[in-house]
């Protein structure tokens, strides 16, 4: 039985990092700092006091509206915090209190930020991918983590393999079609996965991501909305 205190602590931690993720999702594409500067309402631009900025709880108390201007706050903020809380709880259930848990929490919140920035702006910030590459490689030197993560040799091979395979696709697509097919952000992201989980993870990730892409695009192809 998992202690209730532990679950509450992990949920609070997930909410706080989810709130920070919202800041990153909003500010990073605009090249704004994510550490300094108070949060403000995107509609009226008024600064948000601390008790209106409590993850999940404040949104529910305020019924999803700004206290000052009474205009609706996007459900996006609540959703990000909720997803991050659930991610943290799942990771804790699987790995308990360990360094693996901490590392996977960092990775999960980073991927959440990357996913939503890429979804909206079609960019993947280098500040995130490069930081994750470095962390992924450094942690591979700890032999106690090799049960789930690769050693430094496999990590290094995975990073270069992940980047190289996407770079090759980009290069050959450009030569054949004479236009850009993917961005280097995708190559860097796959390099991150390679550094974290080794070269063996790359084929699985490419296969699964292709399947997910097909699932989303096939209905539009059938309707002839997309080519």
What is the rounded average pLDDT of the residues 200-207? 94
Is it the case that residue 211 has pLDDT exceeding 80? Answer: yes
Report the percent of the chain where pLDDT is more than 90.
Answer: 59
* Same domain flag for 157 and 187: yes
Return left, alpha or beta for 96; rule: phi > 0 is left, psi -120 to 50 is alpha, else beta.
left
Residue 70: predicted pLDDT: 82
The CB density around residue 3, as the number of other CB atoms within 10 Å, is 8
* Same domain flag for 101 and 189: no
* Same domain flag for 111 and 48: yes
Last residue of a domain, one of 89, 123, 157: 123
Is it the case that residue 72 has pLDDT exceeding 70? Answer: yes
Distance (Å, whole) CA 185 – CA 114 = 10
* Same domain flag for 80 and 20: yes
Q: How confident is the model at residue 226 (pLDDT cuts 50, 70, 90)?
A: low
User: What's the whole-model pTM score?
Assistant: 0.88
Residue 146: predicted pLDDT: 77
Residue 129's nearest CA partner among 162, 99, 157, 152 is 162
* Same domain flag for 180 and 119: no
Last residue of a domain, one of 107, 123, 139: 123
Report whether 148 contacts 179 (CB < 8 A).
Answer: no
Cα distances from 121 to residues 27, 33, 74, 217, in angstroms, run 12, 18, 17, 19
* Same domain flag for 16 and 64: yes
pLDDT digits (tens, 9 = 90+) for 104-161: 999 999 999 999 999 999 999 999 999 999 999 999 999 888 788 999 999 999 999 9
- Name the β-bridge partners of 65: 72
* Same domain flag for 104 and 130: no
pLDDT digits (tens, 9 = 90+) for 92-104: 999 999 999 999 9
Is it the case that residue 50 has pLDDT exceeding 70? Answer: yes
* Same domain flag for 136 and 115: no
In the block, tokens 């205009």 appear at 71
Residue 152: predicted pLDDT: 94
């Amino acid at each position: 039985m998992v202690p209730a205190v532990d679950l509450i602590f992990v949920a609070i931690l997930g909410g706080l990092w989810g709130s920070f993720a919202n800041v990153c999702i909003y500010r990073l594409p605009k090249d704004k700092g994510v550490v300094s500067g108070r949060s403000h309402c995107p509609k009226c631009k008024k600064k948000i006091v601390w008790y209106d900025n409590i993850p999940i709880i404040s949104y529910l108390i305020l019924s999803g509206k700004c206290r000052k201007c009474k205009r609706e706050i996007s459900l996006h903020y609540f959703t990000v915090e909720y997803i991050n809380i659930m991610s943290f709880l799942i990771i804790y259930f699987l790995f308990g209190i360990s360094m693996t848990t901490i590392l996977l929490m960092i990775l999960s919140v980073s991927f959440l930020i990357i996913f939503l920035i890429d979804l909206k702006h079609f960019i993947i910030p280098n500040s995130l991918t490069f930081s994750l590459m470095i962390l992924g490689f450094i942690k591979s030197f700890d032999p106690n983590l090799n049960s789930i993560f690769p050693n430094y040799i496999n990590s290094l091979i995975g990073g270069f393999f992940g980047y190289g395979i996407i770079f090759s696709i980009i290069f050959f697509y450009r030569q054949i079609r004479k236009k850009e097919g993917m961005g280097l952000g995708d190559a860097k992201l796959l390099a991150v996965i390679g550094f974290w989980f080794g070269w063996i993870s790359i084929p699985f990730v490419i296969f699964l991501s292709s399947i997910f892409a097909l699932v989303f695009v096939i209905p539009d192809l059938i309707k002839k909305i997309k080519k």
